[in-house]
């Protein structure tokens, strides 16, 4: 049985009911998205793509401060890209495209920070609920001299509109749950004291619906709101092209010197901090 044999390292999988599964990210110190997490997400997606019982999946975090901080900027890209890709796309694009097409309803329960690739993950899910006090969202890649590689520029406009997509992507700033709800970045911001009970009740309710009706609803909403899959790989290519340039590498190096990917002030305030870092004297190609 899949659940008995599946042993992910950076998240836990819990079967709440046969129709409702829960995934809790747990990759200390700040829940970055690295090769091991990508590998295990791909395995989970493969199961969910053919599973005929699961109607809803809640994605949450075991860390109350960090949902998914961002991509692991210390990881070896070659190792990640060597993982199997059923779509033929780059590793992260493969995960997000497949996530957006799952037959089950996918629910992001955001308590803590979801930036960069973490924000891209929630954008690829069907529904996003945020803790009013604890959720923070943002796409800070512009501060690294890069376009978001996981399709944020393709998914945000359907949720927040053209102007606010530019605002989010060009500012690189953090957005509170209150403002994210106002913009449509998340469906709803819920007081943290009520958050867990709300998620439990909403997810359980949805998981009990007829599977055929869920499939029909997802089909037609996706038909009118999702970009074609082939629109996303060029964004990934643009990100990796930027990541290879000296300016990106200089900023990345300086941020690691200041505590990137450690549980400190920089990660908590990265949306603001990235705007204060500039490339050292480099010759950018």
Tell me: the pLDDT tens digits for 199-225? 999 999 999 999 999 999 999 999 999
Quote the CA–CA distance of 263 and 248 in Å, as a whole number: 22
Express as a percent the part of the chain with pLDDT over 90: 98
Q: CB–CB of 216/209 below 8 Å?
A: no
Instruction: State which H helix or E strand residue 60 sits in.
Output: strand 56-61
Q: CB–CB of 157/202 below 8 Å?
A: no
Q: How many other β-carbons are positioned within 10 Å of the β-carbon of residue 53?
A: 12
Residue 166, phi then psi, degrees to nearest 5: -60, -45
- Please give the structure tokens belonging to residue 223: 């038909």
Q: Name the DSSP letter for residue 33.
A: B
Helices (H) and strands (E) in the chain, counts: 14, 10
pLDDT at residue 283 in the model: 58
Residue 284 has pLDDT above 90, yes or no: no
For 24-74, write each residue's pLDDT tens digit: 999 999 999 999 999 999 999 999 999 999 999 999 999 999 999 999 999
Quote the CA–CA distance of 138 and 133 in Å, as a whole number: 16
Tell me the C-alpha to C-alpha distance, in Å, between residue 122 and each of 17, 74, 119, 246: 23, 22, 5, 30
pLDDT at residue 280 in the model: 85
């Amino acid at each position: 049985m899949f659940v008995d044999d599946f042993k992910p390292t950076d998240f836990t999988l819990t079967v709440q009911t046969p129709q409702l599964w829960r995934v809790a990210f747990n990759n200390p110190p700040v829940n970055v998205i690295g090769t091991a997490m990508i590998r295990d997400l791909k395995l989970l997606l493969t199961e969910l793509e053919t599973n005929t019982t699961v109607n809803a999946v809640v994605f949450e975090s075991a860390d109350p401060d960090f949902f998914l901080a961002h991509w692991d900027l210390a990881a070896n890209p070659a190792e990640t890209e060597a993982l199997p890709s059923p779509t033929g796309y780059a590793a992260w694009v493969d995960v997000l495209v497949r996530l957006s097409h799952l037959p089950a309803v996918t629910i992001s329960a955001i308590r803590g920070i979801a930036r960069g690739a973490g924000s891209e993950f929630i954008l690829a899910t069907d529904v996003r609920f945020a803790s009013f006090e604890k959720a923070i969202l943002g796409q800070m890649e512009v501060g690294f001299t890069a376009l978001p590689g996981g399709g944020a520029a393709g998914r945000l406009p359907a949720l927040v509109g053209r102007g606010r997509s530019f605002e989010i992507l060009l500012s690189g700033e953090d957005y509170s749950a209150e403002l994210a709800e106002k913009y449509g970045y998340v469906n709803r911001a819920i007081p943290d004291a009520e958050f867990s009970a709300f998620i439990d009740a909403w997810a359980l309710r949805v998981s009990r619906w007829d599977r055929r009706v869920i499939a029909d609803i997802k089909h037609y909403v996706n038909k009118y709101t999702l970009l074609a899959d082939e629109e996303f790989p060029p964004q990934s290519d643009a990100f990796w092209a930027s990541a290879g340039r000296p300016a990106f590498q200089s900023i990345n190096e300086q941020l690691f010197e200041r505590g990137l990917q450690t549980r400190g002030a920089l990660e908590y305030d990265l949306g603001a901090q990235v705007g204060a870092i500039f490339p050292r004297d480099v010759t950018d190609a």
